[in-house]
Homo-oligomer: A and B are copies of this chain.
Amino acid sequence: MITLNETHDPALRSWVASANARDCDFPIQNLPFAVFRRRGGGEAFRGGVAIGDQILDMAAAAATGVFSGEAEDAASAAGQDKLNALMALGEPAWRALRLSLSRALREGAAEQSRLQSCLVPQAEAEYDVPARIGDYTDFYTSVHHATNIGKQFRPDNPLLPNYKWVPIGYHGRASSIVVSGHAFRRPSGQTMPPGADKPGFGPSKRLDIELELGIFIGRGNALGEAVPIGEAESHVFGICLLNDWSARDIQGWEYQPLGPFLSKNFATTVSPWIVALEALAPYRLPFSRAAGDPQPLPYLDSEQNRAAGAFDIELEVGLRTAAMQQAGQREASICRTNYRHAYWTVAQMVAHHTVNGCNLQAGDLFGSGTLSGPTLDQAGALVELTAGGKTPLQLPNGETRAFLEDGDSVVLRAWCEKPGASRIGFGECWGTVLPARA
């Protein structure tokens, strides 16, 4: 059951004044987690909670003694250098900590005097990947993305017959997941250019983005035991932004028959901030199938999933070229869409992943797959936005882009907004393309 409680009250204000601005990503109703430290000082990474333009240092906050009971255990776990221990505690602990944080950060809270000194400005912070990610699984939950991509390979039959029955997913690479702000080298690899009779080797010429959300698993399940869909969301800690950088030319040549490999595993970028599922409660939406689409099999169906399985999360991709950066220009928006268009829900991903007994562990990460919406300007990858490179994007400064060039930076953003509820933001997820290794 998705229920609202006092932590969602849009009238709440924080004694951290910046949290009360209307367009703030991190009001007191959000309270997302990251792992951070002050830049350049050689400090240890530890968990923190975003509030306005500040970070509440959870290691310091836990030491003040303002938390008690279940929230105290959770606060202590949240102060570690990775969030796995907090994730493993499970939903009651996360809820208890959220309630305590909400009360302690409110205007007039007695805890202000003790917590004031635990704040670190976000402007002075750097971040780490927030969890030790044991396994990373990337799904394919946008039917629009699957159809757009399928059209480029199979114009007459874009969607494979399993798509509307199976929440398609595959295993990704955990070691090369980096946090927002990381620059990475353009990958080299084998490609088979059109018309060639043998493959070539060199830097990818079709480097792309994939606009995704990342889902961090909290409580795991034992090997051999499935998680029923009705319990699935209690295993989910929260949601972040994820850019699944993809080398389309390498992918096209390597992916048959076992799926993408070197075309994806050179880098995957996540945002520092993980928004708890509970913070998103005001933005849940019913989930249903369009007329003509099959109903989900029973293991992928539940009353709660139908009532509120989906999320109303706005998504945007910005591109800033080296020339734009030099000229002091902001990034150009190249895509705007919403997570509500996904064909499979988070709960269905968890239920499907475990139905064969596969064990999830605290800190595991799912990617949603590229979250393209129903129209082409809502596509979350350049290969869709530019029709496979044939219709390059026109950027405001006169440049064009079919695929990413060296020096390009990409930012993903996500937020929830509606009348009668507080804005819930996800912050930013940046990455920059460096030239290929010589």
Contacts and interface: CB of A to CB of B under 8 A. Distances in A.
Contacts of A138: 258
- Assembly stoichiometry (copies): 2
A301 to B, nearest CB: 11
A265 B353 CA distance: 9
B165 A297 contact: no
B356 A171 contact: no
Contacts of A134: 134, 174-175
A360 B175 contact: yes
B224 A171 contact: no
A57 to B, nearest CB: 28
Contact of A297 (B184, B190, B247, B298): B190
Interface string A277-315: 000000000000000001001110000000000000000
Interface in A103-151: 134-135, 137-138, 140, 150
Interface residues of A, number: 65
Interface stretch (A248-256, A322-330, A410-418): A248-256
Q: Which of A160, A165, A360 is the most central at the interface, judged by chain B CB atoms within 10 Å of its CB?
A: A165
A89 interface: no
Contacts of A171: 170-173, 261, 265
8 contacts: A165-B198, A168-B254, A175-B361, A176-B358, A176-B359, A184-B223, A184-B357, A198-B294
Interface of A: 134-135, 137-138, 140, 150, 160-162, 165-166, 168-176, 178, 184-185, 187-190, 192, 198-199, 201, 223-226, 247, 250, 253-262, 265-267, 294, 297-299, 352-353, 355-361, 364, 437
